[in-house]
Structure 1
Amino acid sequence: MKIDQAERILDAAAELFARDGVTAVGMGEISRAAGCSRATLYRYFEDRHALHLAFVRREARRIGVRVAAETAPLRDPGERLAAAVLVAVRLVREVPALLAWFGAADAGTTAELAQSDEVIEGLGLRAVGDPDAARWLVRVIVSLLIVPGRDDAEERAIIERYVVPGVLRDRT
């Protein structure tokens, strides 16, 4: 399997994000880690914002595929929605390069990028049928990653009590 240059650059950026934090990593560091020139890096990503957005889009798609696979067997819409949020949170927490986006220094960048249509689509949240509800679900996920609950049970209880009824209120 051949990995293209853009993917190598994003993979190198992921390692740096995990080690140093997102906003602390510059384009020069990424080009060196990817083994390419700055000119090559800028051929694929016009600036750091474009690289950040490409990284977040890619990872949102990856997470969205896994969330869909893990929640597909669930038939109850409320149970499926709660599981989708919790699975997304768990998957981010499992990957240091993703978790790096939710530290204090990087939360602002994350909050801005998280509301992009590409992230919402990548996570599969268009399925809720309401663009505003999908954006709200991304905010819930980001909030849980920045300010986690005391444990998994508390996070599940909050989602089941407040999020699921709010999203499904007019759909059941």
Structure 2
Amino acid sequence: MTTDRILDAAAGLFAERGVDAVGMGEIARAAGCSRATLYRYFPDRRRLHVAFVQREARRIGALLPAGDPVEAILHALAQVRARPELLAWFGAADAGTTAEIAQSDAVIGMLRPDAGDEETARWLVRVIVSLLIVPGRDEAEERAMVERFVVPTLAPRVR
């Protein structure tokens, strides 16, 4: 499928150079398609970014353990950190793009059913993005923060 080929090409470039450093022409060349074809599928860079984030969020979401918000959050963090094309979104140079897309309806809407409401979904995305940009000292510290500060605020809404 052409969209997957384009998004896969973008992933490789994001991992190599960062998200904002990659232009649409470069993505078209890496995907082996013309710029016209690329723009037919993704009319602008923001829509390509949103499509990439949505695809990867769905992939990670399918791998998350159900029923335990602590494990789900920590597993999501580990999945992002294990993949250079995802970790690239959380460097200083790309933080603005990441923040904008992370708070977009396209991303928040994906979390609403699990988080319970839009406000909770927006807050949960902020927490996860924060932990990716400014990680804890180690996994134990992150687990403790999620257990102490995140889960109590989710519990009334998730259950």
TM-score by length of 2: 0.94
Partner in structure 1 of residue 128 of structure 2: 141
Pair 1:150 & 2:137 matched: yes
In structure 2, how many angstroms separate the alpha carbons of the residues matched to 1:156 and 1:137?
A: 15
After superposition, residues 9-20 of structure 1 pair within 5 angstroms as 9-20=6-17
Partner in structure 2 of residue 28 of structure 1: 25
After superposition, residues 69-148 of structure 1 pair within 5 angstroms as 71-72=65-66, 74=67, 80-122=68-110, 124=111, 126-148=113-135
**Unaligned stretches of 5+ residues in structure 1:** 75-79
Cα root mean square deviation, aligned = 1.5
1:50 CA drift (Å): 0.8
In structure 1, how many angstroms separate the alpha carbons of the residues matched to 2:34 and 2:153?
A: 49
Shift in alpha-carbon separation, 1:87–1:121, aligned structure 2, 3 A: farther
In structure 2, how many angstroms separate the alpha carbons of the residues matched to 1:171 and 1:66?
A: 19
CA contact (8 A) 1:85 1:137 kept: no
CA contact (8 A) 2:115 2:157 kept: no
In structure 2, how many angstroms separate the alpha carbons of the residues matched to 1:29 and 1:138?
A: 30
Shift in alpha-carbon separation, 1:125–1:91, aligned structure 2, 3 A: farther
User: What is the number of equivalent residue pairs in this alignment?
Assistant: 159
Query: Is the partner of 1:25 in helix, strand or coil?
Result: coil
CA contact (8 A) 1:61 1:119 kept: no
TM-score by length of 1: 0.87
After superposition, residues 36-51 of structure 1 pair within 5 angstroms as 36-51=33-48
**Unaligned stretches of 5+ residues in structure 2:** none
1:101 CA drift (Å): 0.2
CA contact (8 A) 2:116 2:157 kept: no
| Aligned partner letter, 1:22 | V
Partner in structure 2 of residue 77 of structure 1: none
Q: Which protein has the bigger helix share?
A: 2
Partner in structure 2 of residue 65 of structure 1: 62
| Aligned partner letter, 2:122 | R
In structure 2, how many angstroms separate the alpha carbons of the residues matched to 1:118 and 1:143?
A: 19
In structure 2, how many angstroms separate the alpha carbons of the residues matched to 1:33 and 1:118?
A: 26
